[in-house]
Amino acid sequence: MDIMLVIVFAVFGTAFGSFLNVCIDRLPAGKSILAPPSHCDSCQHRLSPADLVPLLSYLWLRRRCRYCGAPIPWRPFWVELGTGLLFALSYWHFGFSVAFAVIAFYGSLFLVIGVIDLEHHLVLNKISYPAMALALVIAIFQPPPELMTLNLAWHWSGIVSALMGGAMGFLFLLLAYLITLAIYRAEAMGFGDVKLAGLIGLATGPKLVLLALTLGAILGGVVGAILLLLKRKKRKEPLPFGSFLAISALLTLLWGNDILNWYLGLFRF
Ligand SMILES: [Zn+2]
């Protein structure tokens, strides 16, 4: 593993992260992600290349707009840092391969979905639906080894696996959605989360989708309990479950097989 290349992909990731910030800002508002060019939200001044250097521009501008002095929130910084880490980790884990590109893509996708859900309590159909279509295209190039025994042509085994995972994710969360709806007589999670579970299943395949959903539920439960204990949240307030699902989907794509093997190893003597 060439450490220089890990650093190159980390830097490229932070730059890609600033594009993801544009998506997070504009997609919920129904604006184009291509035009206009990046500008300050307060004074509308167009940002120069020096204002757009990932991570570093936050430090030398001290998180303020150079032109009007309006404060810049922390979120773009964390998204850039997160995307840089994601690209570096994916390359470190998979080397320069199809898997690296696929994980970097899904990681970026789940980052955008997770942050938008955190900020707006929304999982946008205009992200989920095209992503589902793309997931099926990606599946053609990713035949999972456990389905090769079915003797299907290799591209079919990828699509069959994705569809099985997608159906499992969707149906599993649909069941949880209906049960909580019957108990609480109100939506405990949004239907966008159900569709997101389907998308996650398309990405992970049938073997790992339940792991991703379980991790998401555990993560949401732990964070929710901590927020309740700290009195930062009222019992009735909904949690952005999509954000937790997005994080667990990313963890599953990176380390799902390792986690599953470790867990199954606990029952082996
Ligand atoms: Zn400004």
pLDDT in tens, 102-150: 999 999 999 999 999 999 999 999 999 999 999 999 988 776 655 555 5
What local confidence, expressed as pLDDT, does residue 146 receive?
56
- Residue 162 and residue 200: Cα distance in Å, rounded? 9
* CA 81 – ligand 1 centroid, Å: 23
Q: How far is the CA of 18 from the centre of ligand 1 (A)?
A: 17
Closest CA to 247 of 263, 265, 223: 223
In the reported structure, the alpha carbon of residue 63 is separated from the centroid of ligand 1 by a whole-number distance in angstroms of 11
Q: Are the C-beta atoms of residues 165 and 132 closer than 8 Å to each other?
A: no
How far is the C-alpha of 200 from the C-alpha of 204, rounded, in Å? 6
Banded model confidence at residue 187, pLDDT cuts 50, 70, 90: confident
In whole angstroms, give the CA distance from residue 65 to residue 47.
9
Question: Environment class of residue 158 by beta-carbon count within 10 Å: exposed (0-12), middle (13-18) or buried (19+)?
Answer: buried
Ligand 1 centre to CA of 39 (Å) is 8
**Per-residue confidence (pLDDT) for residue 59, from 0 to 100:** 82
The answer to pTM > 0.85 is yes
pLDDT at 150: 54
